[in-house]
């Protein structure tokens, strides 16, 4: 059975959105280059994790040799990440094409994040020219002060994909797969991933860092995508994978009419089961993958990558290698909006996150309370702090509130300066945070489901602006 499907895909760092028209075969093995061999090595010993996200299942990754003391840490929303000997998250800074040039680290080259204190913008982002003096120069840090390089000892030896690069000052820095790795000063304890996220962002986002991470332990027919609700399992093309409540452990009951709507993800003849991945023979010679003992399928009517529409059908569920931790209980709701679902506060007002990185060559973040607030003030209040707080109010958290995880938290904020405050500071607000950054609502949202401040800001909210906390998007790609 053949079916024409019109798709949309957006690639990290790509210049434009692409569309592909694909032909999907109902009975052939998915993918043109499915490897036939076992896809993972037996795990090797690594540093014991210092934090366990409060979720029922954790993603299994492909272990690999690492420098002494390095390890892998499961995180709340970014899956497993590499950590150094102290258990602190490692990040990399891939080269990215911006509108007027590129910046970031180049593979296997001298790390670009160095000790230069930039004083002017680079003009990499149109339409503003370069040479404008950056704010708060007195306290502006260098790149390596914000992103400390993970240094290698003089006698360190390269191992596996871990190599050693020479920095500008002659010191040595670890790199994974050619990309220098760094810590973030925002991460204070193991398990925190406050520096950057594994989620993709739109094309005109800044040159962002991302967590350095091991590969997910999935067969070549599959992939794992970080979305707003967790680490979503998709097939190698990008279509969502589903399980069915009416299947039993390692037994499919989807035959005949069921196959009109659901396509078993077939396993090649030479594939073997391993770990969480099993293989069942649904018909002589026809094999199907199972994940955690559940047969997996794609949905015939899915038009888009990473769809969640199949989960609307009773008994069918998207599959996650690891779901995200929940927001604080009783404090947030989910609301239907014009393209899907958003996270909202307890009254139904949409939650927004604020994104910002400056346009100096080192692209330092400006969306954290410890960074200059003038960027946010321009967008949220037209450079008027009082209007800013009125237009994008903070989301107040009860004093003493605990979240039980790393990604959700609280902090005291001075609403006029936007900076951190002491608990006993007059006028300070105790607010909810996500990724150690305050979240907001919008005064222009009148009823539950309103998302009027989505894409509010420079470059549709990705460079210096606000994005709604989308949980589901059936039309666009706001959850990737």
Partner 1 sequence: MKRLSTLAMATAAAACTLAIGVGNAASPDTSTSVKDGTIGFVLTSRYWAVHQSPEGKVECPKGFNDGPREQFSQLFPNDGVKRTLLETQLMREGRQWFPTTSEEPFTFKDAGGKVSYGMVLDGKVKDSDFTSPDGAKGIDNQMYRAMGCISNYRAPEGTIYHFENEYVGRYVHNRFMIELTGVDSLINDDEVTINSYRGIDPIMADATGVQFIPGGTQRVDDRWGKFVRATWKGKIVDGVLISEPSDLTLPASATFDTNGLHVFKGLRFQLKLTPDRAEGIMAGYVDVEAFNHQLNTSWSTHHQSYGQLSAPSMYRAMRRLADGYPDPKTGEMTAISSALLVKFIRTNIEHPPRATASNEPAAPQAVQTLRR
Residue with Cβ nearer partner 1 (40 or 474): 474
What is the footprint of partner 1 within residues 430-459 (CB under 8 A)?
448, 451-452, 454-459
Task: Give which of 174, 40, 180 is closest to 109, Cα–Cα.
Answer: 180
3-class DSSP assignment, residue 13: coil
Buried residues in 156-186 as b, exposed as e (16+ CB within 10 A)? eeeeeebbbbebeeeebbbbbeebbbbbbeb
- 231, 224 contact by CB (below 8 A): yes
- 210, 200 contact by CB (below 8 A): no
Residue with Cβ nearer partner 1 (133 or 154): 133
In SS3 terms, 438-456 reads as ECECCCCCCCCCCCCCCCE
Supply 444's token pair.
């222009």
3-class DSSP assignment, residue 223: strand
What is the footprint of partner 1 within residues 239-298 (CB under 8 A)?
none
Q: Does 132 bind partner 1 (CB under 8 A)?
A: yes
Residue with Cβ nearer partner 1 (282 or 376): 376
- 263, 255 contact by CB (below 8 A): no
How far separated are the first and last CA of the chain, in Å rounded?
30
Q: Which residues pair with 262 in a beta bridge?
A: 299
Q: Does 460 bind partner 1 (CB under 8 A)?
A: yes
Q: Does 422 bind partner 1 (CB under 8 A)?
A: no
Closest distance of CB 316 from partner 1, Å: 9
Residue with Cβ nearer partner 1 (212 or 228): 228
Scanning 33-41, 125-133, 158-166, 275-283 for contacts with partner 1 by CB under 8 A, the matching segment is: 125-133
Binding mask 325-354 for partner 1 (x = CB under 8 A): -xx-xx-xxxxxxxxx--x--x-x------
Among 320, 354, 365, 432, binds partner 1 (CB under 8 A): 320
Q: Does 238 bind partner 1 (CB under 8 A)?
A: no
Residue with Cβ nearer partner 1 (97 or 204): 204
Binding mask 186-205 for partner 1 (x = CB under 8 A): ----------------xxx-
Q: Does 127 bind partner 1 (CB under 8 A)?
A: yes
Binding mask 133-172 for partner 1 (x = CB under 8 A): xxx-------------------------------------
Residue with Cβ nearer partner 1 (183 or 240): 240
Helix, strand, coil abundance in the chain, percent, nearest 5? 5, 30, 60
Task: Give which of 238, 235, 260 is closest to 313, Cα–Cα.
Answer: 260
């Amino acid at each position: 059975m053949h079916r024409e499907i019109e798709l949309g895909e957006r690639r990290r760092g790509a210049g434009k959105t692409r569309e592909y028209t694909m032909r999907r075969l109902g009975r052939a093995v998915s993918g043109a280059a499915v490897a036939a061999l076992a896809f993972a090595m037996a795990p090797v010993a690594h540093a014991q994790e210092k934090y366990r996200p409060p979720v029922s299942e954790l993603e299994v990754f492909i272990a690999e040799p690492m420098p002494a003391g390095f390890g892998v840490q499961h995180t709340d929303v970014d899956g497993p990440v590499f950590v150094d000997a102290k258990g602190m998250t490692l990040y990399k800074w891939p080269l990215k094409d911006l509108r007027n040039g590129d910046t970031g680290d180049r593979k296997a080259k001298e790390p670009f994040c160095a000790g230069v204190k930039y004083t002017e913008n680079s003009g990499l982002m149109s339409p503003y020219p370069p040479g404008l003096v950056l704010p708060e120069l007195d306290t502006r840090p260098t790149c390596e002060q914000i992103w400390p390089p993970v240094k290698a000892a003089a006698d360190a030896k390269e191992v596996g994909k871990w190599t050693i690069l020479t920095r500008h000052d002659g010191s040595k820095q670890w790199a994974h797969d050619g990309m220098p790795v760094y810590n973030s000063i925002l991460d204070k304890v193991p398990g925190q991933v406050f520096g950057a996220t594994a989620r993709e962002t739109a094309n005109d986002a800044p040159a962002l860092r991302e967590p350095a991470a091991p590969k997910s332990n999935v067969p070549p027919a599959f992939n794992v995508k970080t979305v707003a609700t967790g680490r979503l399992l998709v097939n190698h093309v990008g279509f969502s994978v589903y399980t069915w409540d009416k299947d039993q452990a390692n037994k499919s009951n989807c035959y005949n009419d069921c196959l009109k709507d659901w396509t078993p993800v077939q396993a090649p003849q030479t594939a073997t089961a391993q770990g969480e991945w099993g293989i069942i023979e649904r018909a002589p010679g026809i094999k199907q993958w199972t994940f955690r003992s559940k047969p997996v399928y794609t949905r015939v009517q899915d038009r888009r990558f990473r769809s969640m529409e199949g989960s609307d059908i009773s008994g069918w569920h998207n599959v996650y290698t690891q779901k995200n931790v929940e927001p604080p209980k009783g404090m947030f709701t989910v609301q239907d909006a014009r393209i899907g679902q958003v996270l909202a506060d307890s009254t139904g007002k949409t939650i927004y996150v604020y994104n910002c990185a400056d346009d100096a060559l080192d692209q330092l973040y400006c969306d954290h309370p410890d960074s200059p607030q003038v960027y946010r003030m321009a967008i949220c209040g037209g450079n008027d702090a009082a209007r800013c707080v009125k237009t994008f109010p903070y989301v107040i958290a009860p004093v003493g509130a605990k979240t039980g995880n790393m990604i959700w938290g609280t902090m005291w904020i001075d609403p006029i300066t936007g900076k951190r405050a002491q608990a006993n500071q007059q006028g300070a607000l105790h607010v909810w945070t996500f990724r150690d950054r305050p979240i907001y609502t919008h005064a222009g949202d009148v009823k539950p489901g309103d998302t009027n401040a989505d894409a509010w800001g420079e470059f549709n909210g990705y460079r210096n602006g606000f994005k709604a906390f989308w949980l589901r998007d059936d039309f666009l790609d706001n959850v990737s």
